Amino acid sequence: MSAGIPSRDPPPGAGPDVELAGGEARCSGSWTAVQLHRVERRLAGIAWPAAAEVVVDCSTVEALDTAGAALLQATAEELERRGRRVTLRLRPEHQALLEMVRSPAPAGEGPAPGPPGPLAAVGRRALTALDEFLAMLAFVGRSATAGARSLAQPGRIRWRSVLHDVQAAGFDALPIVGLLSFLLGLVIAYQGSGPLARYGANTFVADLVGLAMLRELAPLITAIVVAGRSGSAWAAQIGTMKVTEEIDALRTVGIDPLELLVLPKLLALVVALPLLTVFSDSLGVLGGMVMSRSELGLRFEDFLDRFVQAVRLSDYLVGVGKAPVFAAVIALVGCHQGFQVSGDAESVGRRTTVSVVQSIFAIVVVDAAFSVVFSWLGI
């Protein structure tokens, strides 16, 4: 059985070699992939004799593999292109290998498309952005119709998933949201205390912390943390399910992936994010109180006295009211990016990153839009 198959144990030390002697190129040693780079370079720089016929004598080559044969063939082709006739002298057992290297005619290297010019690149990016935007709109539309269908039949809503997501995206985020809000309150009070103390307006630090946290910063920081924590996780989860064809499997057994995967997350976050925002409000104000006492000597009672006068109910509701909108943005962007995954692992990673970047961007844009609307309405 094993007879006739050349053993290709690499003989140590017998690296491949080629030298010109009397108009002939004499190849020797073992022409196998691992050491082949030596002769590859030698062959590229060799000064071939000017004669019309070149003889390449490989009868002393001890071992030949595909890489070696390919190199011989490439060299021969290069010489033939320059108008020489090439005669390869091979050992009989290497003949078949060279035959194989020769047979699949051209090494099918389709011309690699060059990088597009700058103008084309701009155009392509614009078109991609437009496509993405339209796809996102379509996704929002489909989610809305699926949501409407579920609301018509509340029995179809997957309450277990909703509760699970409330815990994962809401409850489990309490420590990080709390800590960040507390520090934020601390920092605002600290930055404000200097100028306020100079004007003798110590108690107004409650206005500063209260309005900044409740109206803007608490909803924003909560939404950003949740986008980084849960939006990305959902994008990766749905993306991986897409790669393993679980999404397709769901469709074939008659389950709408939107209904199973997107709606519970959306619903859960719309509930959880306002609650998290309230938590963030309290911790932020607490941070402000602690810093006011240590920096300005303002007692908690005095701070809270001023706080009640400075902050109206509408300020609190404006902040908390933005949270459900942010929640929808995070859930929809995260899930949409998950569904956009195509094929491979790299795509999952890219889409996960994009989901975080896009949702934070969208949150800030939406927040700005809210500010404009509220200033029109005079709230």
Partner 1 sequence: MTGAAEFVLEVRDVRTRFGSAVVHDGVSLAVRRGEIFAIAGASGCGKSTLLREILLLHRPDAGSIRLLGREVAGLGEEEALALRRRCGVMFERGALFGALTVAENVGVPLREQTRLGDALIGRIAALKIALAGLPPEAGALRPSELSGGMRKRAALARAIALDPEILFLDEPTAGLDPLAAAGFDDLVRKLKALLGPTVVVVTHDLDLLWRVADRVAFLADGRVVGAGTMEELSRSAHPVVREYFVGPRGRGAMEQSWRRK
Residues within the interface to partner 1 (CB under 8 A) = 1-2, 5-9, 32-34, 36-37, 40, 65-67, 70-71, 74, 96-97, 100-101, 104, 106-110, 342-347
Half-sphere exposure of 328 (CA within 13 A, CB side): 12
Contact of 26 with 60, CB cutoff 8 Å: yes
Please, which residues have CB within 8 angstroms of residue 10's CB and are 6 or more apart in sequence?
30, 32, 34, 63
Q: Which is nearer to partner 1, 106 or 115 (CB)?
A: 106
Residue closer to partner 1 by CB (options 67, 379) is 67
List, in sequence order, every residue forming a beta bridge with 88; answer none if it has no partner: 56
- Closer residue to partner 1 in complex, CB, 66/167: 66
Min dist CB 354 to partner 1, Å, is: 16
DSSP 212: I
Residue 222: count other Cβ atoms within 10 Å of its Cβ. 32
Token code pair at residue 28? 């020797």
Name the amino acid, one letter, at 300. F
Nearer CB in complex with partner 1: 54/101? 101
Q: Please state the closest distance from residue 49 (CB atom) to partner 1, in A.
A: 23
368 in Cβ contact with 265 (< 8 Å): no
In 3-state terms the chain splits into helix, strand, coil percentages (rounded to 5) of 75, 10, 20
Q: Which two tokens stand for residue 182?
A: 């507390």
| Residue 90 beta carbon to partner 1: minimum distance, rounded to whole angstroms | 15
Nearest-approach distance from CB 199 to partner 1, in angstroms: 59
**Of residues 107 and 304, the one with the C-beta less far from partner 1:** 107
> What residues pair up with 333 in beta bridges, in sequence order?
none
Report how far residue 136's alpha carbon sits from residue 134's, in angstroms, rounded to the nearest whole number: 5
Judge contact between 359 and 228, C-beta under 8 A: no
Q: How far is the CB of 107 from partner 1 (least distance, A)?
A: 4
Question: Least distance in Å: CB of 32 to partner 1?
Answer: 7
Q: Name the residue nearer to partner 1 (CB basis): 130 or 345.
A: 345
Q: Residue 103 CB, nearest distance to partner 1 (Å)?
A: 8
Q: Which of 10, 321 has the CB closer to partner 1?
A: 10
Q: Which of 48, 54, 88, 52 is nearest to 71 (CA)?
A: 88
DSSP state, residue 117: P
